[in-house]
Every structure is written in C-alpha cells, then in structure tokens.
Amino acid sequence: DVYGPSIPHMMHAEGRPAASEVTDSEGNRMMRMEPIDAGGVKLMSMGFFIDQGQSVVWRGPMLHKALTQFLKDTDWGELDYLIIDLPPGTGDVALTLAQQVGLAGAVVVCTPQQVALLDAIKAVDMYQKVSVPILGFIENMTGEIFGRGGVQKVAAEMKIPFLGEIPLKACIREYADRGELMQMLQEDNPAREDLRTVCQNVAVQIFRELIRSPAGPVLEIL
C-alpha cells in the first residue's frame, strides 16, 4: 500500500526491510529489499519506511518510482499470489501498475451506496481501457448503515463476477485495530466465513482468467 499505509499495523508487522545481495537466473548480482514476514505472508509497505503518523506527500513521478521499487527491487521469491492494495480512484498509482506489471486481474472493492459505486464504475472503465481483466466486485461494509446489494446489482448489470460481501461487523475492526488479521481467519468469529468465501472466490477467478488468457502474465523470479 502507498497512500495512508495501514498494512504494517493491521498485520502487526514491525521493522524496516533489510537489503541483501541476490543472484538472478543469468548469474548477475544485485541488491534487493527483503519483505517483512508476518505469519508466512510477505509484506512490503510504505509504512515500513516512514514514522507513524507521517503522511506520504508525493507527486506522480515519486509514487511511480516507489511502486516500481516495491515490485522490482524486492526479493519476493516464489509466490502463490502478489496482492497490491491500491488507493481509490483512477490516478497515477493504478496507471503505473497497469503499465509496469503483467496483471492477472483487478478486484474492485466498493461499499454498496450509490456515491461509492460511481467511482467503482470509473475504476472498471480505466482497467478495461488498459487491458487489465476485471476479476470481479467485492461489496465491503455490507449492513444497515451503507445498505446491501448495491455492488451485486452493478456487477450483474456490467456482467462482471460478484465475489462476495464483507459485512460491517465490529469484530473485523477489533481484529484490525489489534493487528490480528491473520488470527481472525483462524479463530471462530462472525466474519471468518464471509472473508474466506471472498478469498476463495478471488482465487477461483484468477485461475479462470489465467486459463482463459492466451498468454498469462510473466513475472521474473529472482
């Protein structure tokens, strides 16, 4: 994550990524950042490089450089999935990512109210213009406050898969505030099955997209 990075807190990950020398497939040596490990999940975030409470006030070229370094200068090793948390909208970060990386697809996460859906529809249009497959919609914060079903309705109208909903429940906020998101998926709580269902649906859509695609994204493994 780039703007307002919160991954380090929610995953209870601390420290700054170390640098190490690695050798690529052609025998070339280079310096790479080592991602922070949190329960078997490799993390890279702007939050590891700034003090808590410090804002990221950067223009487009600096964001472009930072995102490129996170992607290409990190020793990710072999991954099952590389998930990138993007800010809302259709700005520089999303465009840079679409141009720099062979993406398996984009997942659009949106709350169900109409105002939020307007921006989500624009995000879908942007990814389609840069030839990034849309894996599907996820409805976030479903419940009495923001409503229910708005995202699913738009997904049906746009003929885009609906991947599930994440309810507006206090336990999600409590686990995130304590930095225990991994525990939330392992312990018995009201939101666990909803989150697992969404994750499983995303994985299925990635598999379907890679099967359907004539040439899947090629990622260099160092």
Domain holding 167: CATH number?
3.40.50.300
In a domain, 95, yes or no: no
Same-domain pairing of 151 and 209: yes
Task: Judge if 198 and 128 occupy the same domain.
Answer: yes
- Residue 184 within a domain: yes
Query: What sign for the dihedral angle of Cα 131, 135, 136, 140?
Result: negative
- Residue 90 within a domain: no
Task: Give the model's pLDDT for residue 222.
Answer: 43
Retrieve residue 190's tokens: 């009201």
159 and 128: one domain? yes
Displacement of CA 163 from its chain's centroid (Å): 15
Taking only the tens place, the pLDDT of each residue in 4-21 is 788 999 999 988 999 888
Q: Where are the beta strands (DSSP E) in the chain?
A: 19-23, 29-33, 36-38, 41-43, 106-110, 134-142, 162-167
Residue 221 maps to a domain: no
Asked whether residue 141 is domain-assigned, the answer is yes
Verify that 2 and 76 share a domain, yes or no: yes
Give 202-218 pLDDT, tens digit per residue: 999 999 988 887 654 55
Residue 183 has which token pair? 């525990």
CA dihedral sign, ordered 63, 112, 183, 53: positive
Instruction: Work out how many domains the chain is built from and give that number.
Output: 2
Which pTM was predicted?
0.86
Of 85, 112, 134, which residue constitutes the final position of a domain? Answer: 85
Name the stretches of the chain with pLDDT < 70: 3, 91, 214-222
Final residue of a structural domain among 24, 52, 85 = 85
Tokens 């429940």 belong to residue? 169
Q: Is residue 46 part of a domain?
A: yes
Any domain includes 94: no
Domain termination residue (choose one: 55, 85, 115): 85
Note the pLDDT of residue 190: 82
Domain check: are 109 and 204 in the same one? Answer: yes
Half-sphere exposure of 66 (CA within 13 A, CB side): 21
User: Are residues 106 and 208 both part of a single domain?
Assistant: yes
Asked if residue 158 belongs to a domain, the reply is yes
**Enclosing domain of residue 35:** 1-85
